Chains A and B, each alone.
Chain A
């Protein structure tokens, strides 16, 4: 009971809190009574089949989609009655990598990565710093040489990396990654996941990752980025410190929530399919 006050404080301060959120599109229910809390420094892996609602969940978390029922709290603030202009300020503390990329075709890579710095008023990034910040973010994803190119000139994997650069250039507290490895070859997918771990472990970013590949979750749950070697290494204590949780979504509902061990031990037919992928 002694821990109660600090636990409430942590809850009020949680970057993301979803309470019984339901999202409908016409007659179809995309999210059904979804509740989810993400504490500072936590990583949550959202697994689920195509159409299970992962993308809708992340967009609802960013208040791009407004729930029909339930509430979404970002950094302790209720978004349901907020105006779009107030939401811009909250969103500036978050980063997102979209499943379809969401890079602006009409802008160069440099302009794409600079976009959030230029447009998010609350960041107040001085023009003089723009270029350095953009280069820093692009170097982070090892694409420092592509500034002048346009997105269509890059490969799929490179576009994802630009997307990551754009998501983290604002140094957000919470980053949402929507299927960052979908449609990529295993090597490129691994590179992308290394970048995500690097962002999390060098800056301590709270991370939510939607994916249908169990490996992605396994990697974030068990490995951490070593800044000295520039590589991933097995995390000590079997990854306890990484504070990684797994969610499995099915038909808009959270059908499983727990640790990696609990996920692997699950006997549910649907849930266990997502844990067995690794051995295939």
Chain B
């Protein structure tokens, strides 16, 4: 009767078992630090130009849109506060995470997916390595370390974008007033939120990407399907989790 539920339940089961093993492996030998370093380079350094640009323009766009509203209330000197709160609490983590999901969850799914369909994953197990230890754990660690860093960089670029638009382009307020209000607006709560979110999102990105990769079936076509699914599922979860983490912090 509930046969239609079997597929999704099975997927959730395999996902949690993969997540559990990947996390447990962090504390087990052998550690593949080389692979962690390579992945940190791919996720972190590789995404940097994109994150810099997106961060800069996000801050600029928020300022542009807020300028009129703030003017109406004669509060245009508060622009720094608006930019810093929206960016650091919400948009910085979410936008960066969605971008990294598009770039790296897909990359992980397609790389691991091709390895799966060419039996390289089976070969690892046959030849004495645990593919979760060798492939998933390094990706999980690397993303979890790099995403918060990328988010901080993106937030900072956003503030710079906001400063240029608000102070130089639109001359809403003075530079010192901008930075001062941006800084004073932040509470410890905001900063905690701004760092916990990317950590959670990073785990979602790496685990979802690896999960779809490791469970690819159906040849080359299957790799394409796994890649698309990984990006969609990771992005949707990021948005859903933003709400719940935000709600948790509002309740505090």
B12 within 8 A of A: no
A119 touches B125 (CB 8 A): no
Which residue in A59, A120, A121 is a CB contact (below 8 Å) of B122? A59
- The residues of B that contact A26 with a CB separation of less than 8 Å are 6
The size class of the interface chain A forms with chain B is 20 to 34
- A128 to B1, alpha carbons, bound, how many Å? 61
Instruction: Give the shortest distance, in Å, between A37 (CB) and chain B (any CB).
Output: 21
Separation of A166 and B128 alpha carbons in the complex (Å): 13
Q: Which residues of B contact A84 (CB under 8 A)?
A: 125, 130
Q: How far is the CA of A104 from the CA of B134 in the complex (A)?
A: 13
A98-111: contact bitstring with B at CB < 8 Å (1 yes, 0 no)? 11111111000000
Taking a contact as CB atoms under 8 Å apart, the answer to whether A96 and B126 are in contact is yes
How many Å from the CB of B35 to the closest CB on chain A?
10
Which of the candidate stretches B101-109, B113-121, B144-152, B237-245 sits at the interface with the other chain? B113-121
CB neighbours of A92 from chain B (8 A): 128
Q: Which of A149-204 contact B (CB under 8 A)?
A: 166
Q: Is the CB of B119 within 8 A of A101?
A: yes
Query: B6 contacts which chain A residues (CB < 8 A)?
Result: 26
Write the nearest CB–CB distance from B7 to chain A, whole angstroms.
8
Say how far B124's CB is from chain A's closest CB, in angstroms: 8
- A64 pairs with B122, CB closer than 8 A: yes
Q: Is the CB of A119 within 8 A of B127?
A: yes
Which B residues are in CB contact (< 8 Å) with A62?
A: 126
Asked if A91 is at the interface (CB within 8 A of a chain B CB), the reply is yes
In the bound assembly, the distance between CA atoms of A116 and B127 in angstroms comes to 5
Q: Tell which of B119, B128, B130 touches A98, judged by Cβ atoms closer than 8 Å.
A: B119
Residue interface bits B75-102, CB-to-A below 8 A is 1, else 0: 0000000000000000000000000000
Whether the pair B122, A116 counts as a contact (CB closer than 8 A) is no
The smallest beta-carbon distance between A60 and chain B, in angstroms, is 12
* Residue of A103, A105, A116 touching B128 (CB-CB under 8 A): A116
Task: Sort chain B's interface into a size bin.
Answer: 10 to 19
Q: State the CA gap A166–B122 with chains docked (Å).
A: 14
User: Nearest chain B CB to A177's CB is how many angstroms away?
Assistant: 13
Point out the residue from B114, B117, B125 that lies within 8 Å of A64, measured CB to CB: B125
Report the minimal beta-carbon distance from B146 to chain A, rounded to whole angstroms. Answer: 21
Contact B128 A120 (CB under 8 A): yes
A115 and B117 form a contact (CB under 8 A): no
In contact, B119 and A100 (Cβ under 8 angstroms): yes
Out of A94, A99, A103, which one reaches B120, CB within 8 Å?
Answer: A103
Q: With an 8 A cutoff between CB atoms, is B129 at the interface?
A: yes
B129 CB contacts on chain A under 8 angstroms = 119
A91 to B123, CA, bound (A): 11
* A101 adjacent to B118 (CB under 8 Å): yes
Complex alpha-carbon distance, A166 and B118, angstroms: 16
A88 on interface, CB distance cutoff 8 Å: yes
How far is the CB of A133 from the nearest CB of chain B, in Å? Answer: 14
Q: Is the CB of B128 within 8 A of A121?
A: yes
CB neighbours (8 Å) of B122 from chain A are 59, 64, 98, 102
Nearest A residue (CB) for B130: A84
Q: Which residues from chain A contact B126 at a C-beta distance below 8 Å?
A: 62, 64, 91, 94, 96, 98, 102
Q: Are A102 and B118 in touch, CB under 8 angstroms?
A: yes
Query: For the complex, what is the distance from the CA of A92 to the CA of B129, rounded to whole Å?
Result: 11
Query: Nearest-CB distance from A240 to chain B (Å)?
Result: 33
Cα separation A84 to B114 with both chains bound (whole Å): 23
- Supposing A98-B123, A102-B123, A104-B123 touch, asked if A88 and B128 sit within 8 A by C-beta, the answer is yes
| Complex alpha-carbon distance, A98 and B122, angstroms | 9
Q: By the criterion CB–CB under 8 Å, are A102 and B125 in contact? A: no
The smallest C-beta distance from A175 to any residue of chain B, in angstroms, reads: 12
Closest to A94 in B: B126
| B117→A119 contact, CB < 8 A | no
**Cβ contacts A69-102/B at 8 Å (1 or 0 each):** 0000000000000001000100110101011111
Residue contacts A-B, CB under 8 angstroms, 27 given? A26-B6, A59-B122, A62-B126, A64-B125, A84-B130, A92-B128, A94-B126, A98-B126, A100-B117, A100-B118, A100-B119, A101-B118, A101-B119, A102-B118, A102-B120, A102-B122, A102-B126, A103-B123, A104-B120, A104-B123, A105-B114, A105-B120, A116-B128, A119-B127, A119-B128, A119-B129, A120-B127
Q: Which 7 A-B residue pairings sit nearest by Cβ, starting from the closest? A: A102-B123, A120-B128, A119-B128, A102-B119, A98-B119, A116-B127, A100-B119
New A-B contacts (17) at CB < 8 Å, excluding given A115-B127, A166-B127: A64-B125, A84-B130, A91-B125, A91-B126, A91-B127, A91-B128, A98-B119, A98-B126, A100-B119, A101-B118, A103-B118, A103-B120, A103-B123, A105-B115, A116-B128, A119-B128, A121-B128
Interface residues of chain B, those whose CB is within 8 Å of chain A, are 6, 114-115, 117-120, 122-123, 125-130
Q: Which residues of A contact B (CB under 8 A)?
A: 26, 59, 62, 64, 84, 88, 91-92, 94, 96, 98-105, 115-116, 119-121, 166
